[in-house]
Amino acid sequence: MKPIGKSALGQLSDMDIRLLRVFKSVVECGGMAAAELDLNIGISTVSRHIKDLETRLGLTLCRRGRAGFALSAEGEQIYTETLRLLAGADAFRARVDEIHRRMGGQLHIAVFDKTASNPTSQLGAAIALFSDLAPEVSLHLHVAPLNAIERGVLDGQFQVGVIPGHRSSDTLAYDELFAETMLLYCGAEHALFAGEPAGLKWEDLRAHRFAGLGYHSPNMDISQQMHLTRQATGYDQESIATLILSGRYLGFLPDHYAQAFVQTGRMRAVHPELLNYACSFFSIVRASPQASRVTRAFQDCLRKAHAV
């Protein structure tokens, strides 16, 4: 990447920050047409802002055409730096609000998928408490894979994450919130759907194809512990459910999420008394520096909602 000197950028202005926010939205939406809806401005304006940013930086950030939208190598680096810059700006704004003893600005919360249907999750109640406590704070709720949430909290993209517990890091602070039960499921066309043989054990599952999550998680831990060979990989619960519904794979799902499929006869739990594991969920924030007043307030609301 060419070095950015005075001739390329000069001082960073409010307009530059605005252009970088547009660029971030375009990247995360996967193109200008999708970003048009996210930003609530016309696609021609989005395109002009990206061109203005490229001119300011002296770089080509993306390629657009019949082949679709794609970041250039320089664009990928600028996107990474944009995340750092905007996270720093948001942190500065939060510190100023804290000095004034007020709660404003934005709060980005990232949650692991399929938690809304969990009856032990009180995230909605926590959000209600927080919204009443800090009505001027703009909430942004994201759903992301476990590893993306951890990474996002560490780099400042998210202030709070809610994830299944799988390993601990000294760079994060954890609060246990709620739990869920994971059961092994098969689809209606699977050989085990009619009923499992008497005395079925964990080791008997090795004769069947297994679909598991493709990143470090309790799901990966149990498959490695029980020596299940993963022959299909998903990256969220929705993808695991789809693989199970094919009738060709076994896979673990939260019982509350799978309930709708079970009720319609599309899948069933296999020997649930044995083939299960418990999963606890935690809120995470950066251990250092101290979280902002807004983040601490949301943490308190999470604790109160889940203490009931």
Q: Which residue is it, tokens 């016309």?
A: 42
The kind and range of the H/E element at 174 are strand 172-187
pLDDT in tens, 187-199: 999 999 999 888 8
Judgement on whether residues 214 and 278 belong to the same structural domain of the protein:
yes
> Contact, 187 vs 246, CB < 8 A?
yes
Beta-bridge partner residues of 160:
109
Centre a 10 Å sphere on the Cβ of residue 249 and count the other Cβ atoms it contains.
23
Residues with Cβ within 8 Å of residue 230, at least 6 apart in sequence? 210, 211, 212, 223
Neighbours of 115 (CB within 10 A): 23
Query: Residue 217 — φ and ψ, nearest 5°?
Result: -170, 170
pLDDT at 87 over 60: yes
DSSP 250: B
SS3 169: coil
**What's the number of domains the chain is made of?**
2
pLDDT at 28: 86
More confident residue, 307 or 36: 307
pLDDT band at 3 (very low <50, low <70, confident <90, very high): very low
pLDDT at 98 over 50: yes
Nearest alpha carbon to residue 278 among 303, 262, 255, 305: 255
Per-residue pLDDT at 173 exceeds 60: yes
Q: How many CB atoms lie within 10 A of CB 263?
A: 9
- For residues 139-161, give the mean pLDDT: 92
Give residue 97's pLDDT: 67
Residues 159 and 303 occupy one common structural domain: yes
Query: Is 166 among the domain residues?
Result: yes
Do both 24 and 144 map to the same domain? no
Domain that holds residue 125: 103-308
Smallest Cα–Cα separation from 97: which of 112, 107, 109, 84?
107
Do residues 38 and 150 share a domain? Answer: no
Instruction: Answer whether residue 300 is part of any domain.
Output: yes
Report yes or no on 185 lying in a domain: yes
Per-residue tokens: 242? 């789809």
pLDDT digits (tens, 9 = 90+) for 246-274: 999 999 999 999 999 999 999 999 999 99
Shared domain for 250 and 138, answered yes or no, is yes
Using pLDDT thresholds of 50, 70 and 90, give the confidence band for residue 167: confident
Domain shared by 76 and 110, yes or no: no
Per the domain annotation, does 95 fall within a domain? no
Residue 10 banded pLDDT, cuts 50, 70, 90: low
